[in-house]
Chains A and B, each alone.
Chain A
Amino acid sequence: DADVTQTPRNRITKTGKRIMLECSQTKGHDRMYWYRQDPGLGLRLIYYSFDVKDINKGEISDGYSVSRQAQAKFSLSLESAIPNQTALYFCATSDYRSPGANVLTFGAGSRLTVL
């Protein structure tokens, strides 16, 4: 099983619908992140969480919300999806307890299309 699992992997929805992307991890990492990837723009940070009670906005949080249900679970919601939220979404984790090993571990991505 993958260390960081994202569901669904692909989703097509319509404008105005509520969508939830889920992420779970088995690495025991404390920090979790949601990124959005658009062609030519690289990865942009939407939200990040350092623990269950600590959630922070990233560069492009408007139109998104998150929930850290447990240390291992971090969900991203689009309350009312719009076409310009069509993108590839990545969940990632990192372990702050070991600075020398502090890297991002990514899930396989969730491709969202909003019609």
Chain B
Amino acid sequence: AQSVTQPDIHITVSEGASLELRCNYSYGATPYLFWYVQSPGQGLQLLLKYFSGDTLVQGIKGFEAEFKRSQSSFNLRKPSVHWSDAAEYFCAVVQYNFNKFYFGSGTKLNVKP
């Protein structure tokens, strides 16, 4: 069975500092990977996705993520965090035939002024 692990439940960074949120997945074939963001009281918004090709993918709001097959990881990064980035972030993987999406448990990001 597929699984997605986000080892950090909460992360606090200072505004302007860099950010890396970790995501590890368990899947036998090349996965399709996603990062979603959930702002307080909102639904989930797609930040970026990886299907194939270049392993470094760019997303909205200045985020990027790197797929590392050898580490089964898809970590999310941002060079300089803004206060508006405070939210919960979810990593997700989908089966090859797009039947089901599996989500990690989420990482809550707090941004200190």
Contacts and interface: CB of A to CB of B under 8 A. Distances in A.
Contacts of A108: 42-43
Contacts of A58: 100
Contact of A99 (B46, B98, B103): B98
Nearest to A39: B106
A102 interface: yes
A104 B100 contact: no
A92 B34 CA distance: 15
A90 B104 contact: no
B94 to A, nearest CB: 7
A108 B4 CA distance: 23
Contacts of B4: 42
B89 to A, nearest CB: 11
A74 interface: no
B101 A104 contact: yes
Chain B interface secondary structure, helix, strand, loop or mixed?
A: strand
Contacts of A106: 36, 43-45
B83 interface: no
Contacts of A45: 100-101
Nearest to A90: B43
A42 B105 contact: yes
A44 B9 CA distance: 17
B10 to A, nearest CB: 10
Given A42-B90, A108-B42, A103 B49 contact: yes
Nearest to B102: A45
Interface of B: 4, 6, 9, 32, 34, 36, 42-46, 49, 51, 90, 92, 94, 98-101, 103-106
11 contacts: A4-B43, A40-B106, A41-B105, A42-B6, A42-B104, A43-B90, A43-B103, A44-B103, A45-B101, A100-B51, A108-B43
Given A41-B105, A103-B46, 6 more contacts: A4-B43, A44-B103, A90-B43, A99-B51, A105-B46, A108-B42
